[in-house]
């Protein structure tokens, strides 16, 4: 019985809850049981809040029983990436430096989840401070890919993607600074959306790179992602970079699922020799499919994307080096080396040395250098100019296209341990996802089949112009419907149990 | 190894005879907004520790700043009052350095794009030959945020060095600060310390009249860093020292004076002045070097990604310009002409710190002459003796109004009025209570006066004769005797009238 | 672009308050040079006349009204403190004067 519940989509669960065929407590308990069953292997969760989730579920059930009109996702359980502050619940950001820290406040995204009544099952694993593409840099051990436990689930949001792919939760919140929602979605056969920068409040999202970070939905279907998008998006006066104005109707777009006459640009620079053969094969099949569905697919060139990775690996560490300064062992988190003799400067340095992992330190060092006097213009300043060029490339491409497409990542999930000591190889995972973060557009990743050579999921990236996130859901839902027709079921059903 | 003995201080007059000082002043003003610069926490002074904090000003992970609109408007108004150009597009930047009183370990400030630039303040500097106006040019006015407050504990001194640990209260962290930086101020010669003091004093008056800050130096809402360098006449600019946290007007003058004397001694000894940060010691008026750093700080400034740029559109700036009150310089000019007094008299009022009180007293109906007479006379002396400001004396404007009423009704004369103030200062109550308590009322009963007059006439027949022979000026001796007999509580004019009635000139 | 020296790396670690071990200094020295070489192409883009983009989507004058909002209770404020005393955060002794 419970196994069945956990395989339902969020949309179906929501309908059953609304029709009182099931209670939220039942749904939540089913997820908790599934977590107890599979998470010892997957390690998608860093913390499971059974009590809190069941309390929320019970309160939603009571309100529903009292005849209250509730929002669509009320009572549908969700997993939260451990990068979001949640009052009273441990929030570690995958780092030892925040071990046991319980925030005294809620992120805006968490407040919205509470308002709508989504029981939060717990906090999901991630690369430390969201720095990584494999979740291997978590201070609390790696998460495993439900498709193959010896492979990475992507990162930094590997925990959220694995929780969804592993049927531990129908929905999860992720954050995406250079691909941390989309790349995990691609390698776990799930759907992940990075909305337009500013569409979802960053208040309470522990900052990695402020000008790149964006939270978004993780789900098993495009419609589920749209339903969650609708809950978390919207203006927040506590985030100065939050977009004012109404949220595009993403749920309606997911229902529309019609690409007839749509101009789809295939980005030449995001598909080529560096991409795995099976990834390219599935991608070209989707191009054919889109054409068959009535879309007008053409190739576009974004020449400055070549420089995007370099610019990203200057901007991100620069902002991160400053954002992570506050982790100094003075106000919260752990403090190391305070022996009564050491001065404050030494204690800060010891705390940060012992509290941060190698990738975090690497990026802090890099960012400190890129911002330091005499190097700013050469590095950070120049990278910000490249960012302008990337935006111009997008603008030029969108002058001719409604959406752009590419594979989400160059390869399928790689084996755990393969790239952990090779930062450059790790960084290359994000080559197709990074331009979007630099420019601020929204983008979606969705499963488009398994690579023939390894039987692992391949992701399609759909990119829309800034603010027009509804287009992502329209295209995604159309492709999803066509593929499921072909396969006879959603791809995720093929994942081993 | 430096084995040289620190040279002695050079006498001030010798120092400024040999070297030309160049000033620079950096002033931080805490704005008097209701809430902090980037969060909704209150800014009230003196609240219990860590009760005016939130995730933003404690820099909890995930929190984000949002700019206080009033703080921006206040800064623009300050820029306008300082005759600055308001920059149409500016932004915030992060200044990165680790320090435990700064929760984010960076300060949100402005760097290469401040909101206001290129202004000036015409400073009136009192000199022995009257008032000299010195134009102090303003380099920039920018917005930033204050830090928390550290208490150094353990060890012997309670000072930073020797403390075992420190305690931090973040109530002050995030209070809006405006930093006002002057360009170098050359050519002030021996007047340099007075120019520094007058600048800070007039800047304070300006902020107060704008209503943007309560500018209480003793509470730290206005803080000054005083920079000075010396150079031989016509020589290139010297190396400057920066004396931090000079936090009273008197200290500004003392710190500059000390630094000029110290640097002159260094230069006289053929050594070079070190570019360094120094601390002012209130106790003896000296400065001492801060811990010298091996390397220059590298603040790694970059545009604050959490905040959007500020666009000061001309229409908005003009709207704000229209809200500027009459500024202190114009205000002083207007009062001086309304009162019809000389530059010197006006400056005396300003120097005595009595301008506001005199103005308010005049507004309450007292003549400007009387208002100046009382505030600048015994009251100023008393305040000086007590070492307090005029407004801190127990005498109020209402007291002065009442005393002046009593004088004009003939109940008091000047001499008695002084005694009334003496009584108020001694805590004997208000004017009427002092008059009653000390029995200071003029004797206005003609009968009593006539009795005293008759007695004097009887005692001074030769004076009587003179008066009766037409020498009315001789009446003074009898009037004096009557005043003495009534212990000064008679109205001398009335006495004279009665006497002359009694002794009409013969023939 | 010249390679970073070990001294530079040590200076960066000091600026970033990271008490790196000698081994880590060597390790990061090597890795930073590899990464910097890889990102160096960014410096080769002819972008002299191109404005910098600091925010992906720019708005101006995003302000809040000057109104007091409830903050944290003192208990909540101090709840994460590694050390506290007298309602304040307790920090180790401070040697350096604060910059301004
Ligand atoms: Mg400053
Ligand atoms: Zn606050």
List of domains in chain A:
2-256+467-494 (3.90.1300.10)
Kindly state whether A44 is in contact with chain B, defined as any CB-CB distance less than 8 angstroms. no
- The pLDDT, as a whole number, for residue B441 is 76
Interface chains of chain A (3 or more CB pairs under 8 Å):
B, C
Answer whether residue C58 is part of any domain: no
- The pLDDT, as a whole number, for residue B293 is 56
Neighboring chain A residues of C1 at a CB cutoff of 8 Å:
378
DSSP assigned state of A207: P
Give the mean pLDDT of chain B: 90
Residue of C31, C57, C64 lying closest to A466 (CB–CB) = C57
Are residues A109 and A229 in contact, defined by beta-carbon separation less than 8 angstroms? no
User: Which of B319, B343, B368 lies at the terminal end of a domain, its last residue?
Assistant: B319
CB contact under 8 A, A333 and C62: no
The boundaries of the domain holding residue B486 are 446-502
**Ligand showing the shortest atom-to-Cα distance for residue B148:** 2
Q: Which of A212, A183, A247 is nearest to A408 (CA)?
A: A183
DSSP assigned state of A463: E
What chain B residue is nearest to A212 in terms of C-alpha separation?
Answer: B305
**Ligand showing the shortest atom-to-Cα distance for residue C68:** 2
User: Which of B263, B285, B319 lies at the terminal end of a domain, its last residue?
Assistant: B319
Sign of CA dihedral A226, A227, A232, A234: positive
- The pLDDT, as a whole number, for residue B199 is 97
The boundaries of the domain holding residue C12 are 6-43
Q: Summarize pLDDT for C21-60 with one digit per residue, the tens.
A: 999 999 999 999 999 999 988 988 888 899 999 999 999 9
What positions of A carry a catalytic annotation?
A: 81, 156, 180
- The pLDDT, as a whole number, for residue C71 is 97
How are strands ordered across the β-sheet holding B165-169? B149-153, B165-169, C88-92, C84-85
Determine the number of helices (DSSP H) and then strands (DSSP E) in chain A: 17, 11
Query: Within a 10 A sphere around the Cβ of B448, how many other Cβ atoms?
Result: 13
Beta strands A296-300 and A263-267 are parallel
pLDDT at C8 over 60: yes
CB contact under 8 A, C95 and A352: no
At B459, the pLDDT band (50, 70, 90 cuts) reads: confident
At B295, the pLDDT band (50, 70, 90 cuts) reads: low
Please state whether the peptide bond connecting residue B347 to the residue before it is cis, i.e. omega within 30 degrees of 0: no
Distance of CA B252 to the CA centre of its chain: 12
ipTM above 0.95, yes or no: yes
What phi and psi values does residue C72 have, to the nearest 5 degrees?
-100, 150
Residue matched to tokens 């997820």: A31
Answer whether residue B260 is part of any domain: yes
**Ligand showing the shortest atom-to-Cα distance for residue C98:** 1
Give chain C's domain count.
1
Ramachandran class of B96: left when φ > 0, alpha when ψ lies in -120 to 50, beta otherwise: beta
Q: Which of B264, A342, C99 is nearest to A351 (CA)?
A: A342
A329 alpha carbon to ligand 2 midpoint, in Å?
Answer: 20
Residue of B60, B166, B170 lying closest to C94 (CB–CB) = B166
Answer whether residue B184 is part of any domain: yes
Are residues B155 and B166 in contact, defined by beta-carbon separation less than 8 angstroms? no
Give chain B's domain count.
2
Residues B460 and B312 in one domain: no
What chain C residue is nearest to A238 in terms of C-alpha separation?
Answer: C64
B108 alpha carbon to ligand 1 midpoint, in Å?
Answer: 10
B31 forms beta bridges with none
- The pLDDT, as a whole number, for residue A301 is 97
Answer whether residue B11 is part of any domain: no
Are residues B466 and B473 in contact, defined by beta-carbon separation less than 8 angstroms? no
B468 or C12, higher pLDDT: C12
Q: Summarize pLDDT for C55-92 with one digit per residue, the tens.
A: 999 999 999 999 999 999 999 999 999 999 999 999 99
| Rounded Cα–Cα distance for residues A207 and B396 (Å) | 56
Report residue A1 as tokens: 């019985």
Interface chains of chain B (3 or more CB pairs under 8 Å):
A, C
Neighboring chain B residues of A85 at a CB cutoff of 8 Å:
55, 60-62
Answer whether residue B228 is part of any domain: yes
Residue matched to tokens 């800014």: B43
Residue of C17, C74, C95 lying closest to B98 (CB–CB) = C17
User: Which of B292, B319, B346 lies at the terminal end of a domain, its last residue?
Assistant: B319
Q: Summarize pLDDT for B64-108 with one digit per residue, the tens.
A: 999 999 999 999 999 999 999 999 999 999 999 999 999 999 999
Answer whether residue B152 is part of any domain: yes
Neighboring chain C residues of A325 at a CB cutoff of 8 Å:
17
Answer whether residue B397 is part of any domain: no
Kindly state whether A315 is in contact with chain B, defined as any CB-CB distance less than 8 angstroms. no
Rg over CA atoms, chain B = 30
**Ligand showing the shortest atom-to-Cα distance for residue B141:** 1
How close is the nearest chain A Cα to the Cα of C35, in Å?
Answer: 7
DSSP assigned state of B490: B
Residue of C77, C80, C100 lying closest to B53 (CB–CB) = C77
pLDDT at B474 over 90: no
Give the mean pLDDT of chain C: 93
CB neighbour list of residue B43: distance below 8 Å, 6 or more residues apart:
B30, B32, B33, B34, B35, B36, B52, B175, B176
Q: Please classify residue A121 by burial: count the beta carbons closer than 10 Å to its beta carbon, then call 0-12 exposed, 13-18 middle and 19+ buried.
A: buried
Which secondary-structure segment (H or E) carries A444? strand A443-450
| Rounded Cα–Cα distance for residues A359 and B346 (Å) | 69
Residue matched to tokens 């005293």: B452
How close is the nearest chain B Cα to the Cα of A145, in Å?
Answer: 28
Answer whether residue C25 is part of any domain: yes
- The pLDDT, as a whole number, for residue B392 is 87
- The pLDDT, as a whole number, for residue B332 is 86
Q: Residue C14's domain is classified under what CATH number?
A: 1.10.20
SS (H, E, C) A144-156: CECCECCECCCCC
Answer whether residue C19 is part of any domain: yes
Interface chains of chain C (3 or more CB pairs under 8 Å):
A, B
Percent of chain B surpassing pLDDT 70: 95
Answer whether residue C15 is part of any domain: yes
What chain A residue is nearest to B167 in terms of C-alpha separation?
Answer: A330
Kindly state whether B295 is in contact with chain A, defined as any CB-CB distance less than 8 angstroms. no
pLDDT at B294 over 90: no
CB contact under 8 A, B244 and C61: no
Answer whether residue C38 is part of any domain: yes
Answer whether residue C17 is part of any domain: yes
- The pLDDT, as a whole number, for residue B4 is 47
Map residue A176 onto helix, strand or coil: coil
Kindly state whether B160 is in contact with chain A, defined as any CB-CB distance less than 8 angstroms. no
Kindly state the average pLDDT of the residues B130-157: 90
Query: Within a 10 A sphere around the Cβ of A489, how many other Cβ atoms?
Result: 8
CB contact under 8 A, A107 and B104: no
What chain B residue is nearest to A381 in terms of C-alpha separation?
Answer: B302
What chain A residue is nearest to B297 in terms of C-alpha separation?
Answer: A373
| Rounded Cα–Cα distance for residues B151 and B167 (Å) | 5
Neighboring chain C residues of A330 at a CB cutoff of 8 Å:
82, 89, 91
CB contact under 8 A, A344 and C12: no
CA atoms within 13 A on the CB side of B215: 19
CB contact under 8 A, B100 and A325: no
CB contact under 8 A, C72 and B40: no
| Rounded Cα–Cα distance for residues B201 and B212 (Å) | 16
User: What distances in angstroms separate CA A381 from CA A372, B49, C51, C52, one per listed residue?
Assistant: 11, 41, 10, 7
Kindly state whether A211 is in contact with chain B, defined as any CB-CB distance less than 8 angstroms. yes
- The pLDDT, as a whole number, for residue B159 is 64
CB neighbour list of residue B151: distance below 8 Å, 6 or more residues apart:
B166, B167, B168, B169, C88
CB contact under 8 A, A322 and B96: yes
Q: Residue B478's domain is classified under what CATH number?
A: 1.10.10.410
Residue of B66, B101, B298 lying closest to C64 (CB–CB) = B66
Answer whether residue B117 is part of any domain: yes
What string of pLDDT tens digits covers the 497 residues of chain A? 444 899 999 999 999 999 999 999 999 999 999 999 999 999 999 999 999 999 999 999 999 999 999 999 999 999 999 999 999 999 999 999 999 999 999 999 999 999 999 999 999 999 999 999 999 999 999 999 999 999 999 999 999 999 999 999 999 999 999 999 999 999 999 999 999 999 999 999 999 999 999 999 999 999 999 999 999 999 999 999 999 999 999 999 999 999 999 999 999 999 988 899 999 999 999 999 999 999 999 999 999 999 999 999 999 999 999 999 999 999 999 999 999 999 999 999 999 999 999 999 999 999 999 999 889 999 999 999 999 999 999 999 999 999 999 999 999 999 999 999 898 888 998 999 999 999 999 999 999 999 999 999 999 999 999 999 999 999 999 999 999 999 999 999 999 98
Map residue A200 onto helix, strand or coil: strand
What chain C residue is nearest to A387 in terms of C-alpha separation?
Answer: C53
Kindly state the average pLDDT of the residues B463-483: 83
């Amino acid at each position: 019985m419970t196994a069945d519940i956990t395989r339902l989509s969020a949309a179906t669960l929501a309908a059953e809850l609304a029709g009182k065929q099931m209670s939220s407590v039942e749904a939540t308990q089913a997820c908790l049981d599934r977590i107890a069953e599979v998470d010892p292997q997957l390690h998608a969760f860093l913390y499971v809040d059974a009590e809190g989730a069941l309390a929320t579920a019970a309160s939603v059930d009571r309100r529903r029983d009292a005849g209250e009109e509730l929002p669509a996702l009320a009572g549908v359980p969700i997993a939260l990436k451990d990068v979001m502050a949640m009052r009273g619940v441990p929030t570690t950001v995958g780092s030892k430096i925040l071990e046991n820290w319980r925030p005294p406040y809620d992120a805006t995204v968490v407040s919205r989840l509470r308002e709508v009544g989504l029981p939060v099952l717990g906090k999901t694993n991630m690369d430390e401070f969201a720095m990584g593409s494999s979740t291997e840099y978590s201070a609390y051990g790696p998460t495993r890919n439900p498709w193959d436990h010896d492979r990475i689930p992507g990162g930094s949001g590997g925990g959220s993607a694995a929780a969804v792919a592993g049927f531990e939760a129908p929905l999860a919140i992720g954050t995406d600074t250079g691909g941390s929602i989309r790349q995990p979605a691609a390698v776990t056969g799930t759907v992940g959306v990075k909305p337009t920068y500013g569409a979802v409040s960053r208040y309470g999202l522990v900052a990695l790179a402020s000008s790149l970070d964006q939270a978004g939905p993780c789900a098993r279907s495009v419609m589920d992602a749209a339903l969650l998008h609708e809950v978390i998006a919207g203006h927040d006066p506590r985030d100065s970079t939050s977009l004012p104005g109404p949220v595009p109707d993403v749920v309606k777009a997911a229902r529309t699922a019609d690409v007839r006459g749509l101009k789809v640009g295939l980005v030449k620079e995001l598909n080529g020799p560096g991409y795995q053969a099976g990834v390219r094969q599935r991608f070209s099949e989707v191009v054919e499919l889109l054409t068959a569905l009535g879309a007008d697919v053409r190739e576009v060139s974004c020449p400055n994307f070549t420089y995007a990775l370099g610019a990203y690996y200057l901007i991100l560490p620069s902002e991160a080096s400053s954002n992570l300064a506050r982790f100094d062992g003075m106000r919260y988190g752990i403090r190391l080396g305070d022996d009564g003799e050491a001065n404050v400067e030494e204690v800060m340095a010891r705390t940060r040395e012992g509290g941060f992992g190698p990738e975090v330190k690497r990026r802090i060092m890099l960012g400190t250098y890129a911002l330091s006097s005499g190097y700013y213009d050469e590095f950070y300043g120049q990278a910000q100019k490249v960012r302008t060029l990337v935006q111009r490339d997008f603008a030029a491409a969108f002058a001719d296209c409604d959406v752009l497409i590419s594979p989400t990542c160059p390869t399928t999930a790689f084996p755990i341990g393969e790239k952990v000591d090779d930062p450059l190889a790790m960084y290359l995972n994000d080559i197709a996802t990074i331009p979007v973060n630099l420019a601020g557009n929204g983008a979606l990743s969705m499963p488009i089949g398994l690579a023939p050579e390894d039987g692992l999921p391949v992701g399609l990236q759909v990119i829309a112009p800034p603010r027009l996130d509804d287009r992502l859901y329209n295209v995604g839902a159309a492709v999803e419907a066509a593929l499921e027709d072909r396969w006879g079921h959603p791809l995720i059903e093929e994942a081993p149990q | 190894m430096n084995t040289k003995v620190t040279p002695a201080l050079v006498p001030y007059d010798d120092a400024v005879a040999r070297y030309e000082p160049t000033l620079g002043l950096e002033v931080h003003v805490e704005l008097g907004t209701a809430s902090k610069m980037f969060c909704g926490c209150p800014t009230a002074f003196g609240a219990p520790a860590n009760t005016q904090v939130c995730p933003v000003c404690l820099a909890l992970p995930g929190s984000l700043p949002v700019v206080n609109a009033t703080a921006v408007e206040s800064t623009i108004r300050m820029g306008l009052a300082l005759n600055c150009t308001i920059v149409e597009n500016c932004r915030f930047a992060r200044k990165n350095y680790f320090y435990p009183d700064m929760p984010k370990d960076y300060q949100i400030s402005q760097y290469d794009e401040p909101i206001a630039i290129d202004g000036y303040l015409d400073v009136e500097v009192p000199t022995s030959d009257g008032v000299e106006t010195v134009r102090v040019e303003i380099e920039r006015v920018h917005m930033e945020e204050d830090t928390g407050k550290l208490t150094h504990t353990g060890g012997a001194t309670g000072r930073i060095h020797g403390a075992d640990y420190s305690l931090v209260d973040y109530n002050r962290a995030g209070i809006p600060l405006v930093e006002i930086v002057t360009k170098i101020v050359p050519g002030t010669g021996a007047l340099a310390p007075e120019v520094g003091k007058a600048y800070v004093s007039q800047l304070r008056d300006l902020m107060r009249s704008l209503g943007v800050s309560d500018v209480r130096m003793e509470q730290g809402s206005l803080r000054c860093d005083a920079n000075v360098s010396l150079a031989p006449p016509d020589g290139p600019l010297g190396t400057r020292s920066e004396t931090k946290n000079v936090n009273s007007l008197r200290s500004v003058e003392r710190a500059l004076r000390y630094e000029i004397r110290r640097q002159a001694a260094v230069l006289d000894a053929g050594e070079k002045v070190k570019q360094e940060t120094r601390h002012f010691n209130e106790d003896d008026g000296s400065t001492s070097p801060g811990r010298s750093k091996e390397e220059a700080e590298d603040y790694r400034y970059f545009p604050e990604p959490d905040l959007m740029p500020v666009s000061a559109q001309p229409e908005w700036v003009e709207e704000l310009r229209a809200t500027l009150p009459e500024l202190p310089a114009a205000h002083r000019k207007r009062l001086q002409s309304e009162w019809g007094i000389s530059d010197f008299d006006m400056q005396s009022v300003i120097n005595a710190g009595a301008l506001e009180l005199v103005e308010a007293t005049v507004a309450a109906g007292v003549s400007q002459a009387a208002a100046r007479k009382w505030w600048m006379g015994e009251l100023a002396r008393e305040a000086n003796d007590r070492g307090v400001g005029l407004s801190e004396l127990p005498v109020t404007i209402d007291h002065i109004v009442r005393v002046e009423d009593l004088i004009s009704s003939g109940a008091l004369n000047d001499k008695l009025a002084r005694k009334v103030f003496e009584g108020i200062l001694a805590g004997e109550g208000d004017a009427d209570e002092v008059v009653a308590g000390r029995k200071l009322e003029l004797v206005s009963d003609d009968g009593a006066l006539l009795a005293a007059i008759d007695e004097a006439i009887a005692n001074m027949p030769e004076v009587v004769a003179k008066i009766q022979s037409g020498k009315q000026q001789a009446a003074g001796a009898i009037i004096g005797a009557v005043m003495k007999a009534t212990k000064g509580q008679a109205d001398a004019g009335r006495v004279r009238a009665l006497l002359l009635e009694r002794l009409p000139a013969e023939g | 672009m010249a390679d970073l020296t070990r001294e530079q790396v040590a200076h960066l670690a000091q600026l970033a308050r990271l008490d790196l071990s000698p081994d880590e200094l060597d390790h990061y020295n090597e890795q930073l040079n590899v990464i910097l070489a890889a990102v160096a192409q960014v410096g080769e883009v002819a972008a002299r006349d191109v404005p910098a983009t600091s925010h992906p989507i720019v708005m101006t004058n995003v302000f809040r009204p000057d109104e007091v909002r409830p903050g944290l209770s003192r208990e909540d404020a101090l709840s994460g403190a590694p050390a506290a005393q007298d309602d304040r955060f307790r920090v180790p002794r401070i040697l350096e004067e604060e910059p301004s």
